Amino acid sequence: MKAIVCVKQVPDTQGKVAVKPDGTMDRSKMATITNPDDLNALEAALKLKDETGCEVVVVTMGPPPAEGMLRELMARGADRGVLVSGREFGGSDTFATSQILAAAVNKIGVGPEDVVFCGRQAIDGDTAQVGPQIAEKLHLPQVTYAANIKKEGNTLTVKRMLEDGYMTLKVNTPCLITCIKELNEPRYMSIPGIYSCYAKPLEVYDYEALKDDPLIETDTIGLKGSPTNVYKSFSPPVKGAGMMVESVGQLVGILNDKHLI
């Protein structure tokens, strides 16, 4: 049995946004972190490992430096990593990304007892589309917005947190779950984990490795396979510090002084 966790390296929201001339983001120039919801997905997988001893595989699509993130996730307890990386994959939107990730997950192999975990959404695009799209393309049942997961045999009982309430449902493995921050508290990297993570296996899947999968066609991946067109990316202008007023009278006074009323 194994848990496959799909993760994404995203720009650190503390840092600045760099934009390429074509309007897309220049990720190589930006500080990065692991997408926060994906850490909840990893934690869910590691909890399953604590209970059942299952294998935890982390998979990401990104440029070669994304290996650093995978190693950190192995330092938290993942057993091995898969880095999906190739020029052909560059510029993918959510549709193309999920084609590629689904092919990668296929190559890792989803057994009858396996669970695929994703974060709910990435803090850069905020689409929440890739997880559900992977499930559709792999013909796996999906449960989104998981706030609690219990496993008994091949059945998971998942509590979904929705805007106006909860929904609890049961799903059989294999399945795909998208996780929210309320699900758990991600663990820290451990020191033995840090000092052994570079000895753990890491595979790189390039275009050659995935091209035989029916999901991978030149017009389903990369910029060419992406129906989304980015019009413009930019850093929102910095606003000056506001001013707290203590009464309506004070506010009216200020507006009056500026001849606005």
Q: In degrees rounded to 5, what are phi and psi of residue 183?
A: -65, -40
From 19, 30, 123, 189, residue interacting with another protein (rule: CB under 8 A):
189
Rule CB under 8 A: is residue 75 a binding residue for another protein?
Answer: yes
Rank residues 61 and 73 by Cβ distance to another protein and give the closer one.
73
Q: Which is nearer to another protein, 166 or 188 (CB)?
A: 188
28 is a contact residue toward another protein (CB under 8 A): no
Nearest-approach distance from CB 141 to another protein, in angstroms: 35
Q: Give the shortest CB-65-to-another protein separation in angstroms.
A: 12
The pair of structure tokens assigned to 230 is 């980015």
Shorter beta-carbon distance to another protein: residue 81 or 132? 81
Nearer to another protein, 161 or 189 (CB): 189
Q: Do 66 and 28 touch, CB atoms closer than 8 A?
A: no
Token digits of residue 249: 């009278």
Residue 96: exposed, middle, or buried by beta-carbon count in 10 A (0-12, 13-18, 19+)? buried
Tell whether residue 172 is a contact of another protein (CB under 8 A).
no
Measured CA to CA, the distance from residue 59 to residue 67 in angstroms comes to 10
Among 109, 198, 217, 256, contact with another protein (rule: CB under 8 A): 198
Span interacting with another protein, options 54-62, 115-123, 166-174, 188-196, rule CB under 8 A: 188-196
- Ramachandran category for residue 71: left, alpha or beta (phi over 0 → left; psi -120 to 50 → alpha): alpha
The residue whose two tokens read 């935890």 is: 56
- Determine if 196 is a binding residue for another protein (CB under 8 A): yes
For position 128 contacting another protein by CB under 8 A, the verdict is: no
Structure token pair of residue 150: 């219990």
192 binds another protein (CB under 8 A): yes
Position 194 contacts another protein (CB under 8 A):
yes
Q: With CA atoms as reference, report the closest residue to 40 among 149, 130, 166.
A: 149
Interacting residues with another protein between 41 and 70 (CB under 8 A)? 68
Q: Token digits for 234?
A: 């930019």
Query: Is 81 one of the binding residues for another protein (CB under 8 A)?
Result: no
- Measured between alpha carbons, how far is 43 from 167 in angstroms, rounded to an integer? 21
Contacting positions for another protein (CB under 8 A): 68, 71-72, 75, 188-198
